[in-house]
Structure 1
């Protein structure tokens, strides 16, 4: 009986931007992908991909900020994956509230950023932990704006604070999951030309994801808990 070498991957925020590009590239190289987003019915690009890759792409609803949605995803996954574990979790879903000015930072926006960008990936990984394969990997999409050492100006405080919190969540998860040898990393993709990054960004999504997948593929136990750029180089905390 042939050995199944296909990886089973779960990507959050997969309806656009980097999440959609992760889904495309993982499918193109033969992997089995569960792509999640808040409103699958509106995810036209994802649903088109599902038609192109029948049986290898499943689009499921997920609100990363809602633990009840995490629990529902955990209940649904065995229906599409059977008893097979997840080899790669890409915590990509995130939010950036632009236009913040000191003196008028909205507490609701700050809380929303923390819930989606930091608490969501941490709690989702915790919920999915029993379904992660031993030796599997968790990639948390972070940002250079989450680097405390790199702060030069007052810029996007809600996003920056939430990504710094995600970096700490990455370290915590790396310790919690070291028993089953699950590698957890925080990855900075660069300034990418997406809806979030804007038209002036330097890096195409396809290039950013190709680079990040090379970093993920090569990562060993020594990389767990690290904050790396898209070339695998350490980022300052």
Structure 2
């Protein structure tokens, strides 16, 4: 039976491009986002690829929403289907943060969505992961402590550094099943989050990320890599 790819935050940007490229390769995708009814591009793709794309609601930071996704999995996919690739892409970035005016709400939302959500979602989905599956946590070079040279986007940067540690923890937890877990920096990409001045297109960034994921071996689990496969400092 063909393994499925599960992509969170799939209604736009990198998540949507992951869905497009996997479908173009005749793969099967379960795509999640907070409001599937408003995900126009995703719904168009579902109509173009009948049986290959299923869309389910997910607020990655909400416990009940994660649990509901697990319950819906066997109903949405083929009986006995397993996840061959989990792309933890959903995330938030709170712009305009200034030292002296930081608030708990922004920090808490970033940690809940960018760290706690992917960690607990992966834990909840672990029984559905195929042995030898891949888990790609979309991180950022802004989460690199060694490369931080100025104050900026603190809640996002802190959450991505924490996601990197969650990646290492998951790598150890899932290693006995041959499941490889990595933190991936997609580059500075022209999305709603990255902005129009960014260097890379979503198409090129996702194609690069997919090449990196396809080339992963067991020794790569727990590493922090960019979209070209280069290692990034913690």
- For residues 214 and 107 of structure 1, the distance between their equivalents in structure 2, rounded to whole angstroms, comes to 38
* Corresponding residue of 2:228: 231
* SS at structure 1 position matched to 2:22: helix
Alpha-carbon offset, residue 30 of structure 1: 1.1
Aligned match for 2:105, one of 101, 108, 113 = 108
Q: Distance in 2 between matches of 1:102 and 1:235?
A: 27
2:176 to 179, 203, 206: 179
Say whether 1:10 aligns with 2:26.
Answer: no
Distance between the aligned counterparts of 2:208 and 2:224, measured in 1? 15
**Alignment match, 2:87:** 90
Q: 1-side partners of 2:205 and 2:80: how far apart?
A: 32
- Aligned partner of 1:99 in structure 2 is 96
Partner of 1:49: 45
Deviation at 1:80, TM superposition (A): 2.1
List alignment gaps of at least 5 residues for structure 1: none
Q: Is the 8 A contact 2:5 2:83 kept in 1?
A: yes
Q: Equivalents in 2 of 1:106, 1:48: separation in Å?
A: 39
Name the CA distance, whole Å, in 2 between partners of 1:167 and 1:137.
16
Tell me what 1:146 maps to. Answer: 143
* Equivalent-residue separation in structure 2 for 1:124 and 1:101 (angstroms): 31
CA contact (8 A) 2:3 2:130 kept: no
Q: Which residue of 2 aligns with 1:127?
A: 124
TM-score (norm 1): 0.97
The number of residue pairs the alignment matches comes to 233
Please say if 1:167 is aligned against 2:164: yes
Deviation, 1:83, is 1.0
Q: For residues 215 and 18 of structure 1, what CA distance do their matches in structure 2 show?
A: 15
Q: TM-score, normalised by structure 2?
A: 0.99
CA-atom RMSD in angstroms: 0.6
| Residue equivalent to 2:76 | 80
> Secondary structure of the equivalent of 1:185?
strand
Q: Quick one: distance in 1 between partners of 2:38 and 2:140? A: 27
